[in-house]
Structure 1
Amino acid sequence: MGVQINTETAAPQVEVFADRAEVTRTIASRLLAVLKQAAQSQGMAHVSLTGGGAGIATLEAVAELVREGAEAPDWASVHFWWGDERLLPAGDEDRNETQARAALLDFLVAEQGLPTDNICPMPTSEEAAHPEAGAQIYARQLEAFAAEHGVQGPHGKLLMPRFDVMLLGVGPDGHINSLFPGKDSLSVIGQPTTGESDAPVELGPPLRVTLTFDAVHTARRVWTGVTGADKAEAAAEALVPGADVTQYPAANARGAEETIWHLDQAAAAQL
């Protein structure tokens, strides 16, 4: 397939924490600070969310910090996107959007002034008949918020906003977003989104929409949250210099300016 690590992006920093709670609270605190600074300096901030246990726990930690009085951005200036989504009906409990709303977004709308229009979910199965249709719909949503000339990706300009932060989880198989080992989606270039029709059955519904590696690499900051012993092998293999991206897609989880892997001790056990 010939997929290579994008070495023009920021090499990963690795930070190890005691447990999932420390991982997610650290990411949450950092996220609030970055979004506040970005909203103040740019007038608008963009963040790409992820699902999974650590991803949703991070959003719960953001809500907890805000309730505790932590400094937060002007939520009217923050736009929420997703790195991937299952093509399921609106409100399905397996959708990353549904889980994110329950963990954080509904609270921000109800109590913190987040406009509902600032939540930019990927299409539902009612809106898209198949993953590629969903990918095209989301590409148009991204384009509506693109800078005047788009953002520079490794294979040309992409019509999308530049994410201030992209949050990522890493699966036990080494996947990020819905970019799975050995799949054709790994080699999609020159576009921000693609469809996946055959996600591994053990990981739930097979029909997905996902951001591409090119889109990942335009994000200023890419932060992974990796917790649990079942992620240890994938984390260790993905962080080896020159790792095989087709086998461990997480090796290519890199931001334009910063890449940080946040691991708990269990996930870091084989480093």
Structure 2
Amino acid sequence: MVEVNQSTAAPVTEVYPDLPTLTKAVADKLLSTLKRTVEEDGEAHVALTGGGPGIGVLKAAAELVTSGEASGFEPAWANVHIWWGDERLLPEDDADRNDKQAHDALLNLLVADYGLPEENIHPMPTSEDAATPEAGAEMYAEELKAHGPAGGGDGLSLPQLTVHLLGVGPDGHINSLFPGKQALQVSGQPVTSENSAPAELGPPMRVSLTFDAVHAARRVWLITAGESKAEAVSKAFAEETPVEEIPSKNARGAAETIWHIDQAAAAQL
């Protein structure tokens, strides 16, 4: 049985009237948090997520940057590193890849006009890079390790994520950690594989950060919206719900855990 990590920050909620208000608020907060971290620590690392709300945050960030609204609280992009919480093992330019959607929404803009170095973007392996999710997981673990404490080490070696953004599926999954799957049990390593994601959620072969990697992030910000998510949100806050049924219950950051939800998703709380 997977236990909720009680040494991490207990979750709190922020409820917004609708999805556009939610995504703009999270984008605003993300930019200012990355800026503060760069100023204090010299660099910042963020793990992105896919899905409508997750990509919506990136689009909102692009609007803030290009409109000038981000002036004064935008980070020095040369000192920001971009990671992903999970990815589909597909060709590089496949529209279903989270990193492709993120590039279209924000990253291409930051590289072209705002000084984000290409080498600071760390996409998960493509199907051209890795023949299997297991191989892809090993490759991404090595990439994380190269940017971890002292550039390496054993075990759970990865950079300190300033923020790990997470979407939440109607089934309560986060990253590619799905209800009832073996990946929920993986510990002692930052990355795992998934060969049989639920058919209704698209391509089955995935690479995903583990619960251990999520818990190592300073801040975990969940972003979800819509009536279809209300039951999963409610169950995630119910004491009796097992993690195996609603994996997002175990989505917690080391210092902060915030569920950003719209009124529809909060309807059953």
TM over 0.5: yes
RMSD value, Cα: 1.2
Instruction: Quote the Cα distance in structure 1 between the aligned partners of 2:121 and 2:93.
Output: 14
Instruction: Quote the Cα distance in structure 1 between the aligned partners of 2:240 and 2:215.
Output: 17
Secondary structure of the residue aligned to 2:109 is helix
Whether 2:20 is the aligned partner of 1:21: answer: yes
The number of equivalent residue pairs is 266
Confirm or deny: 8 A CA contact 1:172 1:231 kept in the other structure.
yes
**Displacement of 1:148:** 2.2
Match of 2:134 among 132, 135, 144: 132
Instruction: Quote the Cα distance in structure 2 between the aligned partners of 1:243 and 1:61.
Output: 33
Whether 2:39 is the aligned partner of 1:37: answer: no
% same residue: 59
The one-letter code matched in structure 2 to 1:61 is: A
Match of 2:200 in 1: 202
Match of 1:119 in 2: 121
Matches within 5 A, 1:168-179: 168-179=166-177
**Displacement of 1:157:** 5.2
The one-character-per-residue Cα deviations of 1:160-215 (angstroms, maximum 9, x if unpaired) are 10100000000000000000000000000000000000000000000000000000
Whether 2:6 is the aligned partner of 1:7: answer: yes
Matches within 5 A, 1:149-188: 158-188=156-186
Runs of 4+ that moved beyond 2 A: 148-151
Match of 1:99 in 2: 101
Q: 1:39 to 1:242 in 2, by over 3 A?
A: farther
**Displacement of 1:149:** 8.1
The one-character-per-residue Cα deviations of 1:52-105 (angstroms, maximum 9, x if unpaired) are 000000000111111122120000000000000000001100000000000000
The one-letter code matched in structure 2 to 1:173 is: D
The one-letter code matched in structure 2 to 1:50 is: T
Confirm or deny: 8 A CA contact 2:177 2:184 kept in the other structure.
yes
Whether 2:140 is the aligned partner of 1:141: answer: no
Secondary structure of the residue aligned to 1:217 is helix
Confirm or deny: 8 A CA contact 1:5 1:242 kept in the other structure.
no
Secondary structure of the residue aligned to 1:79 is strand
Instruction: Quote the Cα distance in structure 1 between the aligned partners of 2:56 and 2:145.
Output: 29
The one-letter code matched in structure 2 to 1:140 is: E
Instruction: Quote the Cα distance in structure 2 between the aligned partners of 1:114 and 1:67.
Output: 15
Match of 2:189 in 1: 191
The one-letter code matched in structure 2 to 1:35 is: L
Confirm or deny: 8 A CA contact 2:146 2:152 kept in the other structure.
no
Confirm or deny: 8 A CA contact 1:54 1:226 kept in the other structure.
yes
Q: 1:68 to 1:236 in 2, by over 3 A?
A: same
The one-letter code matched in structure 1 to 2:141 is: A
TM-score using structure 1 length: 0.96
**Displacement of 1:242:** 4.7
Match of 2:248 in 1: 250
Confirm or deny: 8 A CA contact 2:145 2:151 kept in the other structure.
no
Secondary structure of the residue aligned to 1:158 is coil
Instruction: Quote the Cα distance in structure 1 between the aligned partners of 2:151 and 2:127.
Output: 31
Confirm or deny: 8 A CA contact 1:150 1:161 kept in the other structure.
no
Match of 1:221 among 214, 219, 222: 219
Instruction: Quote the Cα distance in structure 2 between the aligned partners of 1:244 and 1:61.
Output: 34
Match of 1:86 among 77, 84, 88: 88
Q: 1:149 to 1:7 in 2, by over 3 A?
A: farther
Instruction: Quote the Cα distance in structure 2 between the aligned partners of 1:157 and 1:223.
Output: 25
Secondary structure of the residue aligned to 1:80 is strand
Confirm or deny: 8 A CA contact 2:124 2:207 kept in the other structure.
yes
Match of 1:62 in 2: 61
Secondary structure of the residue aligned to 2:122 is coil
Secondary structure of the residue aligned to 1:90 is coil
Instruction: Quote the Cα distance in structure 1 between the aligned partners of 2:114 and 2:239.
Output: 43
**Displacement of 1:28:** 0.5
